[in-house]
Amino acid sequence: MNGKTPHIVQYQGSKRILAPQILQYMPRKFNRLLEPFAGMAAITVATAQERRADEYFINDINEPIIRILQAAIDCPSELIERYTAVWAKQFEYSKGHIEHYYHIRERFNSGDESAENMLYLLARCVKGAVRYCRNGKFNQSPDKRRHGTNPKSIASNVYAISNLLKGRTSFSAVDYLHIFELAEPGDLVYMDPPYQGVSNTRDNRYFAGVGFDDFSNSIRILNQKGVDFIISYDGECGDREYGNELPQSLNCTKLLLNAGLSTQATLLGKRNITYEALYVSEGLAETINSIPKQITMMEWTI
């Protein structure tokens, strides 16, 4: 990885830290990277930083997230200006910045799902975690210890990301199956679907769920089309496993990436390492044996 990878805002579940490991299993050069479950598109940004693809396609079913990314990439100055106006307003509230956060959250839930409002909520909420209640309203609480990411920090990262991706990126907010239909041989599809433990039905920790069986079966579309893919999916920590393995019939190679010490385990006085699973499509797996083992990991073929 060439230098520090820029990111717009803290986002729970982001693969920014794991990006150097994940990129080891990508070709040095390919036509287009598609992210059906982009979140804040950390892998797209990291891939663009290494100039591996000619084009990029960013998708997430959560449309306000896509609004942030499209504004950051295509019109960074406007996004920074609008975010600054929202961020600065918190210092004018008589009851303090917490009151301002709830005001913006109410505006967002009332229909003003602008890029700047979504960005402010992410920059201020607990752990940068998107949370929705059953009726689809954003319900995450504010982090009361801070005022959210300073616009100057946002600006430096947004301009860096725009320089990497402007003019080479398409955007959508549709179901992931539509992205599979767009994929062609020569493309690479990177997927980081919602955590399996809550993905069979709608859950307030995610905008929408993804069922295990539906997702597993849909991967066959990419295999049939001869499209390479990489999937971040299950994992383990200590003696605990998270989620089911993808079926052997998909002909993937599964690897476990070292994600570092578990914060939760550390709080309990343990020193367990979290391993996140990575599934590499059959075509890409042929290159794995030639990759130097720079990072501790376990690997096997399923």
**Per-domain boundaries in the chain:** 19-63+168-301, 70-154
Question: Looking at domain 19-63+168-301, does it have CATH number 3.40.50.150?
Answer: yes
Q: Average the pLDDT over 216-235 and give the result.
A: 93
Q: Average the pLDDT over 33-39 and give the result.
A: 96
DSSP type of residue 132: B
* CATH topology match: 19-63+168-301 vs 70-154: no
Please report the pLDDT score of residue 201 as a whole number.
Answer: 41
What are the backbone dihedrals phi and psi of residue 117, each rounded to the nearest 5 degrees, phi first? -65, -45
The domain defined by 70-154 folds into Adenine-specific Methyltransferase; domain 2 (1.10.1020)
Express as a percent the part of the chain with pLDDT over 70.
82
- Cα–Cα distance, 136 to 203 (Å, whole number): 10
Please report the pLDDT score of residue 211 as a whole number.
Answer: 85
Please report the pLDDT score of residue 238 as a whole number.
Answer: 57
Q: Where are the alpha helices (DSSP H) in 38-194?
A: 42-49, 63-74, 76-88, 97-109, 115-124, 151-165, 176-182
Instruction: Give every CB contact of residue 93 below 8 A, 6+ residues apart in sequence.
Output: 99, 100, 103
Q: Helix, strand, or coil here: 214? A: helix
Contact 261, 273 (CB under 8 A): yes
